[in-house]
Structure 1
Amino acid sequence: MKIGEKIKRLRVKNSLTQEELADRCELTKGFISQVERDLTSPSIATLVDILEGLGTNLKDFFNETVNEKIVFTKDDAFEMENDELKYTLKWIIPNAQKNIMEPILVELEADGRTKEDSPHEGEEFGYVISGSINLHIGNDQYKVKKGESFYYKANSNHYISNAGKTKAAVIWISTPPSF
């Protein structure tokens, strides 16, 4: 991290001149200039004074925020196939298990089904992109066709199956992540 560059960005963001910042911190304009150009390093105490003059503190100043990825491509996806049960899971958002919700793409071949999930805290949502599926929740079964969606609390055993003759695809979102 280039401390000087970051101090300058904060100063400009706060619409302060070097002289105004220097006055707030009881420093010289020349010293602020040298710090901003990384020609000198302030002591911790002086850095605290500068940051206070900029309306921030050490913790927030050094807390680097990482730009989170927003758009994901098919190359980002992780895929797992289950030939026995005839389904494919695609984690379309990498590392989503660390998030509040976990979206996946489920593709079911004809007569395919997912593994049965045990009851857990949270909720499940799905949208059928193609084909049709049967949603099994406890002893109940629901037919969900292309363009339809489902939503339920995951407090019973649950899974989906494809009783059709063509492949079915479902966007499935679980919260908290469980896949």
Structure 2
Amino acid sequence: MKIGEKIKNLRIKNALTQEELANRCELTKGFISQLERDLTSPSIATLVDILEGLGTNLKDFFNETTDEKIVFSKEDAFEKENEELQNIVNWIIPNAQKNAMEPIHVEIKPGGRTKDVPPHEGEEFGYVMNGSILLHVGLEKHKVKKGESFYLKPGKSHYLSNEGKTTATVIWVSTPPIF
């Protein structure tokens, strides 16, 4: 088992920078960087602190089951609210960054938006469940309403915004995982 790689994946899943994780655990960014590259090993106490900062524990971290889960409940999801951008991102499939696709459920409050997604290889699909959004691709804007979808090959920076009066809800899927 590559402990560093597994910690890095958990950190990314939790949308934390190395510095944010280091601050949570009272460690240095350099130590987290070395740990993620398997250049150093943490003590058990330090590992426990890091895992707590990532919302897990030793038992779950080292539990490597061979049964692949197929159905996921709301309790499996990880939610992160961004008050500055006025959105809530729900990672509805745990550890999806290890898969070919990464689906998220996004709620964008009126006047809110998602973070910028830089250009990348792959494809993205989105379906607007409630409200309407603007899909910004480079300098272009595309309005997508409830019941409509979008599909793009993301060769330009892009993001979603909500200029409406109600919260917009979107299922957004990327391949490869980028959220």
Fold shared, TM-score > 0.5 on shorter chain: yes
Deviation digits for residues 138-167 of structure 1 (CA, Å, limit 9, x no counterpart):
111000000000000011010000000000
Q: Does 1:135 align with 2:159?
A: no
Following superposition, the deviation at residue 66 of structure 1 comes to 1.9
When Rg is computed on C-alpha atoms for both structures, the one with the higher figure is: 1
Aligned to 1:122: 122
Question: How far apart are the structure 2 equivalents of 1:103 and 1:148?
Answer: 17
Q: Does 1:68 align with 2:29?
A: no
> How many residues of Structure 1 are paired with residues of Structure 2 in the alignment?
116
Question: How far apart are the structure 1 equivalents of 2:158 and 2:110?
Answer: 19
Q: Which moved more, 1:65-74 or 1:80-89?
A: 65-74
Deviation digits for residues 106-139 of structure 1 (CA, Å, limit 9, x no counterpart):
1000000001111111111000000000000011
Aligned to 2:99: 99
Task: Indicate the SS of the match to 1:100.
Answer: coil
1:143-158 residue pairs with structure 2 within 5 A? 143-158=143-158
Question: How far apart are the structure 1 equivalents of 2:161 and 2:95?
Answer: 26
Gaps of 5+ in 2: 1-64
The amino acid that maps onto 1:172 is: W
The amino acid that maps onto 2:126 is: G
Percent identity (aligned): 66
Moved >2 Å (runs of 4+):
none
Question: How far apart are the structure 2 equivalents of 1:171 and 1:151?
Answer: 12
Question: How far apart are the structure 1 equivalents of 2:119 and 2:104?
Answer: 19
Aligned to 1:48: none
Question: How far apart are the structure 2 equivalents of 1:93 and 1:117?
Answer: 20
Question: How far apart are the structure 2 equivalents of 1:71 and 1:115?
Answer: 28
Question: How far apart are the structure 2 equivalents of 1:126 and 1:98?
Answer: 20
Q: Does 1:80 align with 2:86?
A: no
Following superposition, the deviation at residue 67 of structure 1 comes to 1.9
Aligned to 1:18: none
Question: How far apart are the structure 1 equivalents of 2:115 and 2:71?
Answer: 29
Following superposition, the deviation at residue 80 of structure 1 comes to 0.6
Deviation digits for residues 15-71 of structure 1 (CA, Å, limit 9, x no counterpart):
xxxxxxxxxxxxxxxxxxxxxxxxxxxxxxxxxxxxxxxxxxxxxxxxxx9221111
Gaps of 5+ in 1: 1-64
Task: Indicate the SS of the match to 1:97.
Answer: helix
Question: How far apart are the structure 2 equivalents of 1:102 and 1:118?
Answer: 16
Question: How far apart are the structure 2 equivalents of 1:101 and 1:76?
Answer: 17
Aligned to 1:162: 162
